[in-house]
Amino acid sequence: MSRRGGSQSGGVPWPGGLRAWARRHAYSLLSSLGALVRHPVASLMTVVVLAITLSLPTGLYMTLENAERISDGWERLDTISVFLDAELEERDAMQLASKLSARPGIVAVDPISPQAGMAELTGRLRLDDVSEQIETNPLPWVLEVTPESGQNPETLSRRLQEADGVDQVVIDLQWLERLQAILAVLERLAIVLGVLFAVAVAFVIGNTIRMDIQNRREEIRVLSLVGATDGFVRRPFLYSGFWYGLAGGLTAWLLIEIALLALSGPVGRLSGAYASDFALASPPLEIIAVLILGSGILGIVGSWLAVSRHLRGL
Amino acid sequence: MVTSEHMIRFEQVAKRYPGGIQALGDISFELGRGEMVFLTGRSGAGKSTLLKLIALLERPSRGRVLFDGRNVGRLSRRQIPWLRRQIGIVFQEHALLSDRRVFDNVALPLVIAGVAYPEIRRRVRAALDKVGLLDKERSYPPMLSGGQQQRVGIARAIVAKPSLLLADEPTGNLDPELSAELMQFFVSLHELGTTVLIASHDLDLIRRLQRRVLVLKDGTLADDVPAKQVTVS
């Protein structure tokens, strides 16, 4: 930008060319860092606000990632219940079971006798005396089919339905579908919040830079009096915005890691109580990179907004 | 670069500030390359405004101001920095950064130009040495007296070796001895080839130096006294 400005001024090139350009950039970079360090408390407060703002959507995203990992484990536990025709005897049921278990896409077939089914039902409903009162067991043989993970349960159930002797196929996926729908809603919510909070970060930084510009009005005036280009005046503020964003992103990462550490004990005890070895996962490297670099870029965007609005006409 | 015979040329220049205050009306004069000229007149006569028009701190309401043959009134916003780098300006109100050391204040025009640090250090020291403030390079401007601050401003104005030096009351805060010393310093700059235009109401000092004098009165050029006619009273 500054180089373009130079070539427009009637063929008078900027002194020193590329190296001078690099030196001016180095000066802007150092002076922007210096400005932050000169007001440590104010800078720190801005960075903490940014870090909290950034850690909220990232934390929600991490919670969902972990929840999805748990529910992935549950999906494998899902079985398809194949109700056989009532007139089928034990021998037919066993034959069908071994036939089905040889089919691709099926891990295991577990036959449940009408007696076992009745026992489970009465046990679950606490109707211990019902079985005694019913003379003939109305339940048919049931085959509990465990599909391979990744199999579409719907297609599998349709194929099972076509087999001889099968009365009805029941998949109890509703609760899992509901859970996944809830997770999908929350995931969308995390994205919406992420966008909103990103905008908030840009505006917080923009506002900080705006105040910075106001405090340094005299400096800007003097710089332009001694021949600084708009680009030279603008650059330290853009760098400041970038530093704010970068520091905010780094601190947000730190906050998330601290939160995970604080939660790991209780979560470990909880999953232990369910005989699971589930543990909270740290954010993956690409999420951290997006968080830190993204907030750095948001910083530049925010300060650009402030600079382009408040530096004009000085 | 196209070089013009005249460093500065005013053609029927008028300046009216918003609110209708007529600061300058119909000013025409020329300033030759390498010339040293004093601009004098009572306060409010338009001296500061005239200097500001050259550095484009203000734009003329009418007429043309030519710097090195270019009409500065036609320069775009982007071209102003280029103009200001050709000109060293000593401001009446110093215009120093109070939170930067004297060294950094003087270095500013060189930093903007992207000069390498060792070169900056050498030239800033040389400039501070010329105004007698080498021992103050690590001080902050508020720690200095008004006169010392004025000299920091002068060091900053000359550090980038501009082809034109404008000074607005550079001796306003100084005692007579120091004033004479500084004027002599401006003379030596002029002798090295810099064009110098100084606004001052220190008539005694101006007479002693025997240079061309422009006299402003109520925003118009009342007199233009050539160097040889300036008499020692």
- DSSP collapsed to 3 states, A32-57: HHHHHHHCHHHHHHHHHHHHHHHHHH
Q: Give the residue from B93, B227, B96, B98 showing the smallest Cα distance to B170.
A: B93
**Cβ(B106)–Cβ(B155) under 8 Å?**
yes
A9: pLDDT confidence band, cut at 50, 70 and 90? very low
Structure confidence at residue A197 (pLDDT): 92
Evaluate if residue A74 carries a pLDDT over 80: no
Give me chain B's average pLDDT, please: 88
pLDDT the model gives residue A117: 80
For residue B56, what is the DSSP state? T
Predicted local distance difference test score (pLDDT) of residue B2: 52
Q: Which one, of B212, B163, B222, lies nearest residue B42 by Cα?
A: B222
pLDDT at A39 over 50: yes
Q: What is the DSSP letter of B42?
A: S
Q: Say yes or no for a CB contact (<8 Å) between B109 and A227.
A: yes
Q: What ipTM does the predicted assembly reach? A: 0.85
Give the CA angle between residues B84, A34, B99 to the nearest 5°.
Answer: 60
pLDDT at A123 over 80: no
- Cα–Cα distance, B140 to B131 (Å, whole number): 16
Structure tokens at A109: 């077939």
Stretch A67-84: mean pLDDT, rounded? 73
Nearest chain A residue to B94 by CA: give it: A222
Q: Which residues of A touch B98 (CB under 8 A)?
A: 218
- Contact assessment for residue B150 and residue B173, using Cβ atoms and an 8 Å cutoff: yes
Q: Mutate which of B112, B115, B149, B158 to disrupt the A interface (most A C-beta within 10 Å)?
A: B112
The pLDDT tens digits for B122-134 are 999 999 998 889 9
State the amino acid at position B67 in one-letter form.
F
d(CA B35, CA B194): 8
The predicted-structure confidence for B15-39, as pLDDT tens digits, reads as follows: 998 888 888 888 999 999 989 999 9
Average pLDDT of the residues in B125-150:
90
**Mean per-residue pLDDT over chain A, rounded:** 82
Strands B212-217 and B36-40, bridge-based pairing? parallel
Average the pLDDT over each of A160-174, A216-230, B215-229 and give the range with the smallest value: A160-174
- Domain B6-229 falls in which CATH fold? Rossmann fold (3.40.50)
User: Using the beta-carbon criterion (under 8 Å), do B79 and A24 form an inter-chain contact?
Assistant: no
Contacts of A11 in chain B (CB under 8 A): 1
CB B81 within 8 A of CB B95: no
Fold of A79-172: Alpha-Beta Plaits (3.30.70)
Contact B197, B39 (CB under 8 A): yes
pLDDT tens digits for range A238-260: 999 999 999 999 999 999 999 98
pLDDT mean over B139-158: 91
- Give alpha helix (H) positions in chain B: 47-54, 80-86, 102-113, 117-130, 146-158, 176-191, 203-209
Work out the pLDDT band at B142, boundaries 50, 70, 90.
very high
State in Å, rounded, how far the first CA of chain A is from the last one.
Answer: 18
Cβ–Cβ < 8 Å for A306, A209: yes
* Integer Cα distance of A152 and A156 in angstroms: 6
Query: Closest partner residue to A222 among B57, B78, B97, by Cβ?
Result: B97
- Mean pLDDT for A146-161 is 76
- For residues A89-106, average pLDDT: 83
- H-type alpha helices, chain A: 2-8, 17-38, 40-75, 90-101, 114-125, 130-133, 153-161, 174-215, 217-225, 230-273, 285-310
Pick the residue of A4, A8, A226 with the most B CBs within 10 A to test the interface with B by mutation.
A226
pLDDT of residue A10: 38
CA triple A81-A83-A89, angle to 5 deg: 130
> Would you call B77 helix, strand, or coil by DSSP?
helix
Nearest CB among B76, B85, B116 relative to A23 is that of B116
Helix pair B102-113, A217-225: axis angle to 10 deg: 60
Distances (CA, A) of B215 to A51, A269, B167, B171, B220: 63, 92, 16, 18, 9
pLDDT digits 0-9 by tens, A293-305: 999 999 999 999 9
Q: What is the mean pLDDT of residues A38-48?
A: 89
Banded pLDDT at A1 (limits 50, 70, 90): very low
In this predicted structure, the answer to whether residue B91 has a pLDDT above a threshold of 80 is yes
- Of the pLDDT bands very low, low, confident and very high (cuts 50, 70, 90), residue A4 is very low
- Any idea where the domains of chain B sit in the sequence? 6-229
Determine whether the interchain pair A20/B82 forms a contact, defined as Cβ–Cβ distance below 8 Å: no
Structure tokens at A244: 């704010």
Q: From CA A39, how far away is CA A66, in angstroms rounded?
A: 39
Domain locations along chain A: 2-74+178-310, 79-172
Predicted confidence (pLDDT) at residue B151 exceeds the cutoff of 50:
yes
* Residue indicated by tokens 């510009």: A213
Q: How far apart are CA B14 and CA B6, in angstroms?
A: 20
pLDDT band at A16 (very low <50, low <70, confident <90, very high): low
What's the rounded Cα separation, in Å, for the pair B174 and B153? 13
Q: Do A222 and B108 touch (CB under 8 A)?
A: yes
Confidence class for position A150, pLDDT limits 50, 70, 90: low
* Average of per-residue pLDDT across A266-284: 81
Beta carbons of A225 and B91 less than 8 Å apart = yes
Q: For residue A221, list chain B residues with Cβ-Cβ distance below 8 A.
A: 95
Distance CA A105, CA A161 (A): 15
pLDDT score recorded for residue A45: 92
Q: Residue B187 pLDDT more than 80?
A: yes
Lowest-pLDDT choice from A196-200, A249-253, A310-314, B120-124: A310-314
Which one of A5, A21, A219 has the shortest CB-CB distance to B114?
A21
pLDDT at A128: 63
B57 in Cβ contact with A225 (< 8 Å): yes
Residues B96-101: what's their mean pLDDT?
Answer: 90
Q: Which residue of B has its CA nearest to A27?
A: B111
